[in-house]
């Protein structure tokens, strides 16, 4: 018994006419008859009453028509799902991203992916840079947006864009423009900085800014995510250096002053990853 025989049986059970069924199934009447006889022989069950004029389902045939119709519909749905998975149109993709792109790059990216692959599930994570690389290496995520240049040979990356860093202060702070910022005016400021590996390219960039203004961090506050830093700034606990895209986070009471330093954004993925979903998504970037 094979899938095609079941299709022949269900078609004949619907038409109850060998000639009409064979025409619709694009086979000869004799081939259709042989397939039905073979099915009956294998099952040890008579499926049809038939004579020269009439074809009629037996009670066993009626029972199997109902059950096989349901199973065949389910099997075809499974086959369609398997084809979608094979083509990268169905399944789950796990993506890590920095807090800074939550209101800029990320919504547009998710919208584009969802429009192209409406049956695809997306899981989004905010991770520290160190954890993010480990998750990518160990298949805990499939794709990562990062401000750090990749140094691991098993990961590919593509630069997406760059943007300015900004000095972030309370709206009532006396820093209003770039001309207000100098070594002298910054020396008494408390800095709120993101945590991370001091050797990462992003943290090296932040250190370049600090060195440019001869800032010594005798006292500072560090935390993992920029949104937390912004909340602390609102409460008068210091100032920070963050990617300018944070200004899209609807931060009332906060001022962003662009600095003459730029940070890059990359998208990163495992080399030679066979996942067709990943291939499809990278074509959209």
pLDDT of residue 81: 58
pLDDT of residue 77: 62
pLDDT of residue 198: 65
Domain 163-263, what fold? D-Maltodextrin-Binding Protein; domain 2 (3.40.190)
Q: Tell me if 112 sits within 8 A of 285, measured CB to CB.
A: no
pLDDT of residue 84: 59
Beta strands in the chain (DSSP E): 48-50, 55-57, 91-96, 120-125, 143-146, 155-170, 191-194, 220-223, 239-243, 254-270
User: In terms of DSSP H, where are the helices of 26-88?
Assistant: 29-43, 59-86
**Mode of pairing for the β-strands spanning 155-170 and 143-146:** unpaired
CATH 1.10.357.10 describes domain 3-75: no
Domain limits, CATH 3.40.190.10, in the chain: 91-159+267-284, 163-263
Q: Tell me if 33 sits within 8 A of 22, measured CB to CB.
A: no
Tell me the C-alpha to C-alpha distance, in Å, between residue 131 and each of 52, 122, 154.
75, 19, 16
pLDDT of residue 34: 94
Helix axes 105-116, 276-284, angle to 10 degrees: 120
- Show pLDDT as tens, one digit a residue, over the chain (285 residues): 788 899 999 999 999 999 999 999 999 999 999 999 999 999 999 999 988 788 999 999 999 998 888 888 777 767 665 775 676 777 888 899 999 999 889 999 999 999 998 988 899 999 877 788 888 888 888 899 999 998 888 899 999 999 999 999 999 999 999 999 999 999 889 999 987 666 788 989 999 999 999 988 877 888 888 889 999 999 999 999 999 999 988 778 999 999 999 999 999 998 978 888 888 889 888
pLDDT of residue 275: 81
Q: Which two tokens stand for residue 283?
A: 């074509």
Q: Which CATH number fits domain 91-159+267-284: 3.40.190.10, 1.10.10.10, 3.40.50.720, 3.10.20.30?
A: 3.40.190.10
Q: Tell me if 33 sits within 8 A of 23, measured CB to CB.
A: no
Domain limits, CATH 1.10.10.10, in the chain: 3-75
pLDDT of residue 127: 86
């Amino acid at each position: 018994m094979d899938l095609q025989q079941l299709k022949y049986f269900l078609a004949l059970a619907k038409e109850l006419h060998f000639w009409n069924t064979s025409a619709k199934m694009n086979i000869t009447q004799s081939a259709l008859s042989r397939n039905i006889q073979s099915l009956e022989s294998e099952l040890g069950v008579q499926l049809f009453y038939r004579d020269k004029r009439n074809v009629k389902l037996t009670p066993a045939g009626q029972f199997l028509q109902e059950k096989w119709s349901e199973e065949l519909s389910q099997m075809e749905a499974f086959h369609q799902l398997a084809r979608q998975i094979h083509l990268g149109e169905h399944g789950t993709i796990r993506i890590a991203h920095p807090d800074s792109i939550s209101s800029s790059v990320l919504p547009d990216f998710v919208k584009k992916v969802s429009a192209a692959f409406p049956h695809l599930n997306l899981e989004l994570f905010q991770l520290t840079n160190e954890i993010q690389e480990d998750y990518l290496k160990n298949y805990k995520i499939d794709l990562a947006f990062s401000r750090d240049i990749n140094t691991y040979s098993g990961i590919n990356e593509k630069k997406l864009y760059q943007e300015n860093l900004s000095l972030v202060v309370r709206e009532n702070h006396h820093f209003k423009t770039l001309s207000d910022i100098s070594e002298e005016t910054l020396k008494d400021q408390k800095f709120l900085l993101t945590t991370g590996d001091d050797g990462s390219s992003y943290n090296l960039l932040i250190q370049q800014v600090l060195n440019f203004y001869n800032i010594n961090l005798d006292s500072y506050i560090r935390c993992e995510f920029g949104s937390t830093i912004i909340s602390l700034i609102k409460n008068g606990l210091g100032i920070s250096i963050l990617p300018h895209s944070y200004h899209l986070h609807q931060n009332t009471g906060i001022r962003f002053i662009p600095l003459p330093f730029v940070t890059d954004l990359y998208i990163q993925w495992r080399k030679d990853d066979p996942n067709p979903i990943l291939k499809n998504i990278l074509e959209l970037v």
